[in-house]
Structure 1
Amino acid sequence: MLKVLCACVWVMGVTFGVMAHATSVVFLNPGTSTETFWVSYSQFMQAAAKDLGLDLRVRYSGRDPQNTLQQARETLQGSPRPDYLVLVNEQYIAPQILRLSQGSGVKLLIVNNALTVDQMQLLDAGKYSNWIGSIVADDEQAGYLMLEDMLRQYGETKPGQSLDLLAFSGVKNTPAAQRREEGMRRALGEHPDVRLRQVVYGEWNRQRAFEQATQLFKRYPQTALVWSANDEMALGAMQAAQEAGRTPGKDVLFSAVNSSSEVLGARIDGRLSTLVAGHFTTGGWAMVLLDDDAHGVDISLHGGRDREEALFQLIEPEQARRLQAINASQQYNVDFRALSAQGKPESYRYPFSLQLLMH
């Protein structure tokens, strides 16, 4: 009788163990654990993972690609290994991680910075069967929207008048920075009255952008527009303008990307004229894709293997207040399970959008 009872308990334990196993995910976050954007990015991922029943672990590299590679090595060669590894092609490191993943049994998804065309050609990407695809926001659109909206707010220029523009891009060898810059240049091509005086690489850093802007405002005193590829660089450049006796939002129009509480405040009070945001949600949407893949859905049938989503939108003051409230509460009120492609026809497309949070 005791043997039968023990056997029953053992079978129940095994069954429960199988049922209790959650799909495990490691995210190699390229930022720091104090960096507003990357922390908010991870928080939204965790909310999605919790809703979907995924076991998500986030590892921060502190902006050091060598740290990321070491973390990838530990994840892919250690034990136990996760079911999925989510990574960013920051500073072009994705191909090395793909090579490390061979034979690991871990599936890979790339977010935020996809492989470049050159990397795809050099890598022979087809041989990595464990790489299930990528999801990125349309960074070119973000760069374009920022300059277009600043020019809309500036208004018509007089015949023969030109506007001086300064641009603060991110890290030079990061695809997102390059794509945002391409969008800015597309807008420039449509506005011959705008003179791009200089592009500098602020490396996403406020202090660096402040120091660069301090020199640039001296060099180009007629600067009317400042385009920045993230919030930190915009805030640094705005500080430099104020110290030079200029008034952001009046004497000089500034634009930025991201949705930190500080930059949302600058949009609300008018110091920042143009803000685009939304791509902090990319990691959360990635969790939906991974959960579907884990349930046998061919996610490539619902929008392609490598997807570029229109996640950026212009943030007006009213929306900035809504995002501030979301930042403060970390209550996203998104039904991630409802976004799944499970049981849906092939024509179904994931409706990923910032609007899902803004209702």
Structure 2
Amino acid sequence: MKYIFRSIPLLILIVFNIFAYSVSNEAKEKKLHILYYNSENQEGFWWRTTSEFAQAACQNLGMELNIVYVDRDAAFMVNDFKKKATNLNKPDAVIFQNLKSNAVNMLKIAEENKIPAFIFNAGLTEEQAKQYGKPREKFKYWIGQILPDDKKAGYDLAFQLFNEAKRLGLKDKNGNIHFLSIIGTKTDTASIERENGLKLASQQEKKIILDQITSANWDRREAEKSLNWLILRYPEAKVVWSANDLMGLGALDSLSKTKIIPGKDIIVGSMDWVPEALKQMQSGKLFTSLNGHFIETAWASVLVYDYLNKKDLV
């Protein structure tokens, strides 16, 4: 009997060590879980590519990536994150863009639930930034962001189109070149900044005349419908500046129903490197497409991985 009682502490110690070893191994085997909110759906080439780059980066780093496509529904994104953030298996970090100005609500949820948040592609609007500042200023768990220079992209696109139109002699009697401009959703930071770049180009180059700027919400069909009447309203327009390829393709769809020849009578340019757009560039109908920023999700994944492994971004 004495032997049994003396062995109990030893038995407890052995059981504890086995349990601790098991928990330790489980912790080592547990993968980091990253939540990525994709603002579009799987049909869109550019957004699908961002998912593929994020997935490749996470697999390479041994992380698990959960991709949620929100199909431009900013409210759904916020509500879905509320549910996932309060779940027992909440994500180790979240990556998203400022969709229709919803980033502040996303950051508040991340802050309340102590989930590191990383913004990519579209940051806070100017008004939001005035109130909430930069990462880690107002929100401790907003750990960082990676953003393209959309203003410069809009600016560069404007001058590429302007110079080509000038080369082709597409001027009015006063030497001006008239632009029609199709932007995305008005509340999206990317659209706002690209439009700002276009406006800056027109301020610097007085020969650029912005006949009209219209929103087509990043949508091909909307852009086609818009250009149908814009071409009739502004017959002197010789350039179509588009904030993305889908809207640029919509512009080409509209022009295909007229006698106006893209690449000869009018110049069309856009952004994103959508495969169909690249084919239209080869045919000469689309003059240019700017891109490269789809890789941001891979960079964001790497930076989040470093942060979660105690290698801070700053």
The CA distance in 1 between the partners of 2:126 and 2:105, in whole Å, is 16
Match of 1:56 among 50, 65, 71: 65
The letter of the residue matching 1:226 is V
- Counterparts of 1:278-297 in structure 2 under 5 Å? 278-297=292-311
The CA distance in 1 between the partners of 2:284 and 2:236, in whole Å, is 21
Partner of 1:67: 76
Summarize deviations over 1:23-72 as a string: whole Å, max 9, x none: 21101111122222211111111111111212111101111111111111
Match of 2:108 among 99, 104, 118: 99
Partner of 1:112: 121
The letter of the residue matching 1:151 is F
Superposition TM-score, scaled by structure 2 size: 0.89
Partner of 1:136: 147
Question: How many pairs are equivalent?
Answer: 299
Summarize deviations over 1:109-150 as a string: whole Å, max 9, x none: 111111123213334762321110211111011101111111
Gaps of at least 5 residues in structure 2 are: 1-10
Whether 1:34 aligns to 2:43 is yes
Q: Percent identity?
A: 27
Partner of 1:223: 237
Inter-CA distance 137–33: structure 2 relative to 1 (3 Å threshold):
same
Superposition TM-score, scaled by structure 1 size: 0.78
- Native 8 Å contact 1:28 1:71 kept in 2: no
Whether 1:46 aligns to 2:41 is no
The CA distance in 1 between the partners of 2:138 and 2:204, in whole Å, is 41
The letter of the residue matching 2:154 is G
The letter of the residue matching 1:21 is K
Partner of 1:312: none
1:26 alignment partner, SS class: strand
Whether 1:145 aligns to 2:156 is yes
Q: CA RMSD in A?
A: 2.1
The letter of the residue matching 1:80 is N
Summarize deviations over 1:239-267 as a string: whole Å, max 9, x none: 11121121111111111110221111112
The CA distance in 2 between the partners of 1:11 and 1:134, in whole Å, is 38
Partner of 2:32: 23
Mean CA deviation greater in 150-159 or 239-248: 150-159
The CA distance in 2 between the partners of 1:231 and 1:253, in whole Å, is 14
Mean CA deviation greater in 229-238 or 30-39: 30-39
The letter of the residue matching 2:111 is Q
The CA distance in 2 between the partners of 1:144 and 1:258, in whole Å, is 15
1:248 alignment partner, SS class: coil
Q: Choose 1 or 2 for highest CA Rg.
A: 2
- Native 8 Å contact 1:253 1:272 kept in 2: yes
Match of 1:195 among 176, 184, 209: 209
